[in-house]
Chain A
Amino acid sequence: MSRAATTLNETAAARSRGEPGAWARLQDNRTVLGLLFLTPAAALLLVFLTYPLGLGTYLGFTDTKIGRGGAWIGLENFEFLWGDAVARLALFNTIFYTVIASVIKFALGLWLALILNQHLPFKAFFRAIVLLPFIVPTALSAIAFWWIYDSQFSILSWALTRMGLISQYIDFLGEPWNARFSTIAANIWRGVPFVAITLLAGLQTISPSYYEAASLDGASRWQQFRHVTLPLLTPIIAVVMTFSVLFTFTDFQLIYVLTRGGPLNATHLMATLSFQRAIPGGSLGEGAALATAMVPFLLAAILFSYFGLQRRAWQQGGSDK
């Protein structure tokens, strides 16, 4: 029996029972049901995502202090921040931190994924081990790095001194450029597993038959990678790098534990400066403006990875011609 016929019969039966009932009809209405099912999710998103984001953006245009409501001041916070040497330095630091860390995380992550995709002894064990840095809470691993980079107790400096390679301890977090690279290294250590494991998942979806076909055509290992692996991996790369860039750009915990933005504000990221200004400093409006100022950069990163990396029609839900 066709669906239409069923509905007709049911309606007729209902009518004969004399009980169409508005509620019953509503329950049958697909639009109403759809909206009903959507409501919890929409409410959650509205309350916990849209509202805070909207409020945060709004605060950025006010002079709100903690403990005191503010008035609308338009773009004043943004103008103020643009003229602020520390905020500009934080912007530079954030971009530098994100670009360097993301590129290295991608390279190392891909390399690690390719290795783990080979037939290795104890494969499952290695895959689990690789994930460890990602599993350890950032605050804890940051404290470990804080000791590793300590100006008096650094195990790296200690080991290098013992080996006779250096004569005095390296000032990892006390010299601006050292501090930038040290924090980037800690971020990379933490971020590589995420990239590696996600790319590994992508690699495993690639059918071995492509490689067989390629090798029958005489493709070298590099050509196989370049013309089979990479194109088939780009959708995953786009997603994983978008996330990686977002996480890196908005990093907070690592910097807060290691340097609090020091030395001389050389490692202040926009997120840490935003916190410093908004919470201990009490200028909620200014902190919110700093946080809001991150949005365009994040959007640009997302758009780049979507339009830059997902060039193929089939990757965007169409079909290749």
Chain B
Amino acid sequence: MSEYKRRRFLKTTAGVAAATAAGPMLWTAKDASAQWKGAPEKGASLRVLRWSRFVQGDIDQYMVNVKKFSDQFGIPVRVDNEGWEDVRPKAAVAANTGAGPDIILGTNDDANLYPDKLVDVTDVCDYLGKKYGGWYPVCEQYLKPDGKKWIGVPLGCAGNALVYRQSMLKAAGFDGVPKDTDGFLKMMKALHGKGTPGGFALGNATGDGNTWTHWVVWAFGGKMVDQNNKVVIDSPETIRALEYAKELYGTFVPGTLSWLDPNNNKAFLDGQLSVTSNGISIYYAAKNAQDPKVKELEADIFHSNFPVGPVGRPTEFNLFFNQMIFRYTKYPKAAKEFLRFMMEQEQVNPWVTASIGYVTPALQVYEQHPVWKDPKATPYRDSMKIMLPSGYAGKMGYASAGALADFIIVNMVAEAASGSKSPKEAAERAQKRAERYYKV
């Protein structure tokens, strides 16, 4: 898949600490064709809009890197932050009106809504791909829609994994999370039996609701659309997934139907949950907690990837991050230089360290980053590798974005799980709702 032949990992005994210090070279590119010649416009200045941090270390180190760029190239950069859900409409308006930030860090299928409004960044992506072991295949599905031209530079994803309390799993007779869906259900039942249930968000939670419900549907072979964007959600596979979700729901802590994104974090950190699905932020919060009760959880919190269902391969859904340069920018070369610079290992290494792996980088070489050596963080290392794209298995665009924003999958799973509809009815309703987006 990549031209990267052999990765050389220069072992740094200092590990994480060393990576923080001004980014030592952790590996050197073997592909000599990875050459970059940038020529930013004279007198350029840049405005960047990005999603606000989930963990403080992310933004702190990001800004250090930005300053480094400004110092080195003499290009002032202004960075604005917005909640990640607010970036999408702003980016779309910027694309439509032809005015706004030069660079926007967006999420999921944003770039596919206005591909012709974006600067072709194939040169940057080719260079970075060659130098750093290639992009994960899912990046191309997101940002190389025609298979030739990159419309954005992949940044990575906020990985979602199962967050669990090891002591509670042990008490229920499990050393770790089983690798298959049947074993997982058994574990959830055992935890429930012990009075230490898990719980997953089933309210209209944009992040935590979407991630695990997509996983469960995909794990059994269900999918919203086929490769031709034909809606096929009402399928026997989906119904099996919904029956499974119903059994799983029976083991949940009460109240998950109302859960929005913050609920599972709060409940977990209060010690009320044994398992949930989340980014590394729960662990980060425990690790940095002032409250000794919360701090105590740090040692007991472990992570695991989601179990694999009957389809026989991982089917995770993570929040993908892209970096787009808009055509209206006066300084496309400076913008490219900025993205190239920010993706070089000197910048990425300390940034990944500072955010303890909240964002899994999109370039494969970063799998060797020392942050993943911490067994607590290892599952997040593979988030890019094992995820399926938004709108799977079809093409991305307005229909996939609309269907996701309307919580069709979340609502379907919630209806079936809670028993308010039978799995068949829930799947039929989802089919009808999705067909409206995919205009049958």
Contacts and interface: CB of A to CB of B under 8 A. Distances in A.
A153 B258 contact: no
B206 interface: yes
A173 B256 CA distance: 9
A260 B203 contact: yes
A152 B267 contact: yes
Central interface residue in A69, A176, A280, by most chain B CB within 10 Å: A280
A264 B405 contact: no
B433 A151 contact: no
Interface in B402-429: 402, 405-407, 411, 414-415, 418, 420, 429
A67 B92 contact: yes
Contact of B258 (A80, A85, A179, A281): A179
Interface in B425-440: 429, 432-433, 436
A171 B432 contact: no
Contacts of A67: 91-93, 95-96, 113-114, 117
Interface residues on B, range: 35 or more
Contacts, number: 129
B4 interface: no
B55 interface: no
B433 A280 contact: no
| Secondary structure class of chain A's binding surface, majority of residues | loop
A151 B256 contact: yes
Contacts of A168: 254
Interface in B252-269: 253-260, 263, 266-267
B263 A281 contact: no
A146 to B, nearest CB: 8
A64 to B, nearest CB: 10
Nearest to B408: A86
Given A65-B398, A153-B270, A86 B206 contact: no
A150 B258 CA distance: 8
Contacts of B272: 152
A127 interface: no
Given A153-B266, A259-B203, A169 B89 contact: no
Range class of the A interface residue count: 35 or more
A202 interface: no
- Residue among A179, A265, A281 with the most chain B CB within 10 A? A281
A181 B227 CA distance: 43
B323 interface: no
Interface string A206-250: 000000000000000000000000000000000000000000000
A173 B95 CA distance: 38
A140 to B, nearest CB: 16
A263 interface: yes
Nearest to B206: A280
B392 to A, nearest CB: 18
A174 B257 contact: yes
A143 to B, nearest CB: 11
Contact of B255 (A69, A171, A261): A171
A151 B407 CA distance: 21
Given A66-B93, A279-B89, A280-B89, A84 B258 contact: no
Contacts of A153: 266, 270
Nearest to B114: A67
B203 A282 contact: no
A116 B49 CA distance: 52
Contacts of A65: 92, 113, 398
Interface of A: 65-69, 80, 84-86, 149-153, 168-169, 171-176, 179, 259-265, 276-277, 279-283
9 contacts: A69-B96, A151-B263, A173-B203, A174-B256, A259-B204, A260-B203, A262-B203, A280-B206, A281-B402
Interface of B: 85, 88-89, 91-93, 95-96, 113-114, 117, 202-206, 253-260, 263, 266-267, 270, 272, 398, 401-402, 405-407, 411, 414-415, 418, 420, 429, 432-433, 436
